[in-house]
Amino acid sequence: MTNITEKIKLSLSKRQRSEKRFKFLGFIGISFAILFLIIILYSIFSQGQSAFKSTYIELNIFFDEKIIDVEGKRDIEDIKFANFRKIITNSLDNYFPEVEKREEKRKLHEFISSSEEKNLMNLVLSNQELIGKSKQLWLLASSTIDVIHKNPEMERIVESDRLVDDLELSWFKTFKENGNLKFGFNKNFFSKADSTEPEQAGVLGSMLGSFFTLLITLILSFPIAVAAGVFLEELAPKNRFTDFIEVNINNLAAVPSIIFGLLGLAIFLNVMHLPRSAPIVGGMVLALMTLPTIIIATRASLKAVPPSIREAAIGLGATKFQTVNHHVLPLSMPGILTGTIIGMSQALGESAPLLMIGMVAFIVDIPGSFTDSATVLPVQIYLWKSTAARGFLELTAAGVMVLLTFLILMNGLAVFVRQKFEKKW
Amino acid sequence: MGFWSFFTLLCLVGFYVNWYGTTKALRINSNIEKGPKLPSLPNYYGRHALLSFILVSTTILLVWIFLKPFILDLLLENKISVDLTSSFDGDPSMLIDTIKATDPNNFFPGTNPLIIEFAKYYEYIKETSDSYVYLMVLSVALIFSIFSLRKISISFQARQSVEKTNINILIFCSVIAIITTIGIVFSLIFEAIRFFEKVPFFDFLFGLAWSPQTAIREDQVASQGAFGAIPIFSGTLLITLVAMSVAIPIGLLSAIYISEYANLKVRKFLKPVLEILAGVPTVVYGFFAAITVGPFLKDLVSFFGFSIASESALAAGGVMGIMIIPFISSLSDDVINSVPMSLREGSYAMGATKSETIVRVVLPAALPGIMGAILLAVSRAIGETMIVVMAAGIAANLTANPFEAVTTVTVQIVTLLVGDQEFDSAKTLAAFALGITLFFATLLLNLYALKIVRKYREIYD
Amino acid sequence: MVTVTSNNIKIKSKKISVFYGDKKALDSINLEIPEKKVTSLIGPSGCGKSTFLRCLNRMNDTIDICRIEGEIFIDDKNIYEKNLDPVLLRARIGMVFQKPNPFPKSIFDNVAYGPKIHGIVNSEDELNDLVKDSLKKAGLYNEVKDRLNEPGTSLSGGQQQRLCIARAIAVSPEVILMDEPCSALDPIATAVIEELIDELAKNFTIVIVTHSMQQAARVSQQTAFFHMGNLIEVGKTEEIFSMPKQIKTQDYITGKIG
């Protein structure tokens, strides 16, 4: 007996070592997973947070009456079509009077964003007494200047690889040293839609597009899914047909999202000729995708309600339908709502099927209805990433931050609903 | 009449019908002094009329939505006069599309004035047809509700009728899932068949060259495209393989740690954190893969003297693996937890250490369930679109080297369809052929995975 | 406390108390288990006998909320000492559970599990002999000798339990603990196991928990009666059942309580 004990003792230390190694391995596994998450979030936030500020340049703007209102009539149409670009370029020329060659002047004129022409026009329209006077104004810089301002290490790169040449760099430094260059809040980010110029692009268009699309998704999928879930769980006889329906629903839940996009393309667009790029089509496609999720959540919540409630109702003479409607369904609402919110948050992040049905277009207008062309936030992120201009990089990351914020809010809401209202039977 | 005004009117009439039915029932009840009252509660009578109203109006509206384009085209065709066809200097079959595409308020200078006229006509019938239909809906639905209102009497059991209708509505809602599946299969097959009329089936399935070019116009001398899908399938497989080699070790080890070693508080914290990885939208992963991982790998690998594409399978597959980690860890965790405690106790009582118990007893017992989880994860990886669209290559490349750029089925589907393509060309139809392959592949994987998991559950329940 | 004398004491428990969270399950148990004899622990449901059994091989360590006070000496060594490795302890003390729990492996691998992980055997042949030997000692060999590669779960309930016994004795433990080993078996299988216990007692110390008094009377030489977490009385089996000294013991035996 004792030599067996001896034998066991011999292998014991080796086994304890491998026990420790194994536990460590498991720990490493999960540490990697969490590390990845942290790295992803960090890289997004570090790249995106600079998008919330813009670069502004201070210039002395002379509202030359000869340019704005030659005839002196103060006619609104005249003012609207005046050449405000000249006003801006004049100010720039005055700042650097030594610049004479046309080629160089052109480069200087690109320092200010083209959107400022319209802003100045609106300023003059509402303050006509400015005509003929001068004012110090902070104007939005163009994206290239913004990029240089936010990435000081770029100054050290060789000129041929840099975004701006040495001359432009010297102007930039002059503005900075004179105190005429500053960071301000990026007003365009939350108020504008897509644009060719990064400094003018914003997420409002895609946020509204997402809003309209999700609204359609909710309106279409929620009632149908809950109805289907109620039927399958409470009222359906157990036969081969209902089994078949169940198998179908489980399969749909696992179909890749791009297939739904193909379905939308083939039927909604080509057969039914619904408008491309409209939230209504996007909503329909996403509704089909979200149906299985909500159906499964509905069935799970209904299953969780104890049979005693149903028996009590039936004992009082209620029909099966009344039992479900008046008793079971209200009790399972928290679970159903939680599942719906989660389904919606998944739909919010979807982009592949929407690419298929055309919500990839370059939309500069902010959508106002369900049939206006629009894009959604994740697709906007995809489009910005695909653009070459360097200034779009931080916008893409910032767009991701906005998307993630919404998702966190929605999931937080789902957790809140679940914890506050769900009953533990 | 605009849509919203019509909709408001519809609601108002509906409310009225409901109210009238209920009131009528109440009135009948109060007029009966002795003897049986109406068999159902008054509001069921109102509800009955309302249901007729809603069902009829919804049906007509749905039919109209489907038929509208065809009817409008028909009207347009009838109106087209001979002079227009002769004066039109393009392809005659494009005539209708041209008319539809022309905006009568904002046209290109130099457009045929007849075209503009017909464009105006098209706008006109588009708007007025809606109004006619709205009117028809309101009147027909009203007529039907009047019929049901007249039915209100002592012998009419409204509640049964209402409940039966309700159940039928529920059945219809449930069947929508089937309709969707049929719709998917049907639309994919239909277009795929059109594709296979142009490109032979076995060339597609077994061809080794993929370069989808087609002649844009008939007179153009362009190279005949090659549509061999093998490089695409291999690209999908390569990226999936890379993804699985990231996700399986990390996912399984995480699951083991969470279910066997972590104490309750840590477990409560770790599980939701892993779920976050599952909740991040795939476009975010794609962004991360393209902007951060791609360049990072490039720098890292060239530091060692090798070369790697910036759109390598390693970058795309690696990030996809990260996305899949929670799939494997969550499902495996559930499976490991459901292995009965009695097996573990039997092993501990023998003097086995925890790791020995896990490796020799728990994991073998949980293996079928874990295999099912892995299969489901593979199916997810194959169908994933955004990460590969943003981080993987577009050119087909038949290789097993993860440092090179490859393309996948999903990337090709997107590339073929996002762009200005004539819908009938072999190029766009190829996307549907790829789509249907993808659909069946994932379907088979899922069915098989579910079968395994179900069989496993039977052993232990 | 009455003990069975003229034998060595294998296990001695000193003031063992067990807490599940705040609830006290065992109160200061002092019990001696004689070597190479069968001791049975009896008492009504929930009296703590299984809990006490599981203290003997530190199986209660696997339950998070369980807290143990006191000492247990096996061969005069305290097993609740700080540095004692439960792995080694459990190799010396085998356990058979209420519901047979063979591993989802072949019959051969079930029995070979212990020897393999502890590194007891040096060759394939030694392992084969050891498995054969254990199965014979458990009285199962003849029934399964032709199908050693079939899964352990394909056996009947009684056979599975004997497989678990074979598995336990394959590492030559000194003590075998049995937690109601026959409660999931039919009478015939029970009789087979009881006969086996008789045989095994020649070489092993056996502690068996049972809620069948008849079984305790049949198989054991010493009996300990537990009630509500307390050890009420312990002594020679015939004396406990014919002339119990405590009223509670009397009540339990006559069926008044439990």
How far the first Cα of chain C sits from its last, in Å, is: 23
Confidence grade of residue B223 (pLDDT, cut at 50, 70, 90): very low
CB burial of C120-153 (b: ≥16 within 10 Å; e: otherwise) equals: bbeeeeebeebbbbbbebbbbbeebeeebeeebb
Interface check B294 vs A, CB under 8 A? no
Interface check B292 vs A, CB under 8 A? yes
Chain C interface mutation, best of A8, A13, A18, highest count of C Cβ atoms under 10 Å:
A8
Domain boundaries, chain C: 9-254
In angstroms, what separates the C-alpha of B305 from chain A's closest C-alpha?
24
Write out pLDDT tens, residues B60-115.
Answer: 888 887 788 778 877 877 777 655 666 666 665 666 677 776 666 666 666 667 77
Chain B interface mutation, best of A40, A42, A354, highest count of B Cβ atoms under 10 Å:
A40
**3-class DSSP state for residue A317?**
coil
Is A231 close to B176, i.e. CB distance below 8 A? no
Enumerate domains of chain B plus CATH numbers.
3-156 (no CATH), 226-460 (1.10.3720.10)
Q: With a threshold of 0.95, does the pTM exceed it?
A: no
Interface check C91 vs B, CB under 8 A? yes
CB contact at 8 A, A299 and A345: no
Identify which of C171, A261, A404 has the alpha carbon closest to the alpha carbon of residue B187: A261
- The predicted structure's pLDDT at residue B424: 59
Partners of residue C88 in chain A, C-beta under 8 Å: 5, 8-9, 12
Nearest CA in chain A to C121: A7
| Whole-number Å distance between alpha carbons of B411 and A11 | 54
- The predicted structure's pLDDT at residue B220: 46
Q: Tell me the two tokens of residue B142.
A: 């009203």
Distances (CA, A) of B269 to A41, B277, B327, B443: 18, 14, 17, 34
Write out pLDDT tens, residues A21-31.
Answer: 999 999 999 99
Mean predicted confidence (pLDDT) in A170-190: 87
CB pairs under 8 A between A and B: 248
Is A8 close to C88, i.e. CB distance below 8 A? yes
Name the CATH topology of C9-254: Rossmann fold (3.40.50)
Partners of residue A4 in chain C, C-beta under 8 Å: 120, 171-172
Identify which of B197, B139, B198, B162 has the alpha carbon closest to the alpha carbon of residue B39: B162
Of B166, B292, B354, the CB nearest to A43: B292
Write out pLDDT tens, residues B366-382.
Answer: 888 899 889 989 999 99
Q: Which of A248-252, B232-236, B377-381, C161-165 has the lowest mean pLDDT?
A: A248-252
| Whole-number Å distance between alpha carbons of A409 and A404 | 9
Which residues is C67 bridged to in the sheet? C19
Of C87, C117, C172, the CB nearest to A4: C172
- The predicted structure's pLDDT at residue B224: 56
- The predicted structure's pLDDT at residue B1: 65
Look at residue B266 and tell me whether its pLDDT is greater than 50. yes
Partners of residue C120 in chain A, C-beta under 8 Å: 4, 7-8
Residues 153-172 of B with CB under 8 A from A: 159, 163, 166-167, 169-171
- The predicted structure's pLDDT at residue C230: 92
Q: Tell me the two tokens of residue B6.
A: 């019509």
Partners of residue A11 in chain C, C-beta under 8 Å: 118-119
Looking at this protein, which amino acid is placed at residue A207? M
Q: Which CATH number applies to A204-421: 3.10.20.340, 3.40.50.20, 1.10.3720.10, 3.40.50.410?
A: 1.10.3720.10
Residues 137-156 of B with CB under 8 A from A: none
Look at residue A129 and tell me whether its pLDDT is greater than 90. no
Write out pLDDT tens, residues A378-398.
Answer: 988 988 888 877 888 888 999
CB contact at 8 A, B350 and B249: no
Q: Tell me the two tokens of residue B303.
A: 């530091």
Of C57, C94, C117, the CB nearest to B352: C117
Looking at this protein, which amino acid is placed at residue A357? I
CA dihedral B299, B305, B306, B311 (to 10 degrees): 20
Chain A interface mutation, best of C74, C118, C123, C172, highest count of A Cβ atoms under 10 Å:
C118
All residues at 6 or more sequence positions from A175 whose CB lies less than 8 Å from its CB, including other chains: A57, A181
Identify which of A230, A235, A233 has the alpha carbon closest to the alpha carbon of residue A319: A235
The ipTM, to two decimals, is 0.89
- Name the neighbours of A, counting chains with at least 3 Cβ pairs within 8 A: B, C
- The residue with tokens 């046309």 is A102
Confidence grade of residue A423 (pLDDT, cut at 50, 70, 90): low
- The predicted structure's pLDDT at residue C170: 93
Interface check C152 vs B, CB under 8 A? no
- The predicted structure's pLDDT at residue C73: 92
**H helices within chain C, ranges in order?**
49-56, 86-92, 107-118, 124-137, 141-144, 157-169, 187-200, 213-219, 237-242, 247-254
Please give the share of chain B, as a percent, with pLDDT higher than 90: 19
CB contact at 8 A, A119 and A100: no
Range list for CATH 1.10.3720.10 in chain A = 204-421
Is A236 close to B174, i.e. CB distance below 8 A? yes
- The predicted structure's pLDDT at residue B67: 81
CB pairs under 8 A between A and C: 28
| Whole-number Å distance between alpha carbons of B414 and A261 | 10
Write out pLDDT tens, residues A335-378.
Answer: 898 889 989 988 998 888 888 888 777 777 777 777 777 888 99
Mean predicted confidence (pLDDT) in B289-294: 90
Which residues is C9 bridged to in the sheet? C34
**3-class DSSP state for residue A207?**
helix
CB contact at 8 A, B432 and A266: yes
**3-class DSSP state for residue B298?**
helix
- The predicted structure's pLDDT at residue C114: 92
| Whole-number Å distance between alpha carbons of C207 and C210 | 10
| Whole-number Å distance between alpha carbons of C169 and C167 | 6
CA R_g for chain B: 32
CB contact at 8 A, B174 and A245: yes
Interface check B390 vs A, CB under 8 A? yes
Sign of CA dihedral C188, C194, C200, C204: positive
CB contact at 8 A, C75 and C87: no
| Whole-number Å distance between alpha carbons of A365 and A373 | 8
CB contact at 8 A, A60 and A91: yes
3-state DSSP percent of chain C in helix, strand and coil, to 5: 40, 25, 35
Q: Tell me the two tokens of residue B378.
A: 């593979």
Of A1, A5, A12, the CB nearest to C87: A12
- The predicted structure's pLDDT at residue B262: 86
Q: Tell me the two tokens of residue B61.
A: 């509206």
Chain B interface mutation, best of A30, A34, A356, highest count of B Cβ atoms under 10 Å:
A30
Identify which of A383, A424, A422, A376 has the alpha carbon closest to the alpha carbon of residue A403: A376
CB contact at 8 A, A192 and A202: yes
| Whole-number Å distance between alpha carbons of B49 and B151 | 9
Mean per-residue pLDDT over chain B, rounded: 83
Write out pLDDT tens, residues C96-149.
Answer: 999 999 998 999 999 999 999 998 888 999 999 999 999 999 989 999 989 999
Confidence grade of residue B211 (pLDDT, cut at 50, 70, 90): confident
Of C59, C89, C171, the CB nearest to B345: C59
Write out pLDDT tens, residues A11-51.
Answer: 888 899 999 999 999 999 999 999 999 999 999 999 888 88
Look at residue B137 and tell me whether its pLDDT is greater than 60. yes
Q: Higher pLDDT residue, C9 or A69?
A: C9
Identify which of C194, C257, C199 has the alpha carbon closest to the alpha carbon of residue C225: C257
Of B263, B264, B342, the CB nearest to C99: B342
| Whole-number Å distance between alpha carbons of B165 and B44 | 12
Sign of CA dihedral B269, B271, B277, B280: negative
Confidence grade of residue B184 (pLDDT, cut at 50, 70, 90): confident
- Name the neighbours of B, counting chains with at least 3 Cβ pairs within 8 A: A, C
Classify residue A78 as left (phi > 0), alpha (psi -120 to 50) or beta. Answer: alpha
Q: Tell me the two tokens of residue A70.
A: 């030659």
CB contact at 8 A, A335 and A301: yes
| Whole-number Å distance between alpha carbons of B312 and A160 | 28
Side-chain-side CA neighbours of C141 within 13 Å: the count stands at: 11
Distances (CA, A) of C252 to B63, C28, C44: 81, 21, 8
Q: Tell me the two tokens of residue C252.
A: 């339990």
Is B261 close to A27, i.e. CB distance below 8 A? yes
Low-confidence ranges of chain C (pLDDT < 70): 1-7, 258
- The predicted structure's pLDDT at residue B221: 44
Q: How many CB atoms lie within 10 A of CB B363?
A: 17
Distances (CA, A) of A316 to A234, A311, A326, B305, B369: 18, 9, 13, 81, 44
Residues 58-87 of C with CB under 8 A from B: 59, 62, 64, 86-87
Of A29, A258, A385, the CB nearest to B249: A29
In angstroms, what separates the C-alpha of A249 from chain C's closest C-alpha?
34
Chain C interface mutation, best of B350, B354, B361, highest count of C Cβ atoms under 10 Å:
B350
| Whole-number Å distance between alpha carbons of B99 and B80 | 11
Confidence grade of residue B420 (pLDDT, cut at 50, 70, 90): low
Confidence grade of residue B422 (pLDDT, cut at 50, 70, 90): low
Confidence grade of residue B460 (pLDDT, cut at 50, 70, 90): low
CB contact at 8 A, C24 and C51: no
Looking at this protein, which amino acid is placed at residue B355? S
Q: Tell me the two tokens of residue A115.
A: 């959107």
- The predicted structure's pLDDT at residue A303: 87
Q: Give A247-266 as a DSSP string.
A: HHHHHHHHS-HHHHHHHIII
| Whole-number Å distance between alpha carbons of B362 and B343 | 8
Q: Tell me the two tokens of residue B260.
A: 């066997």
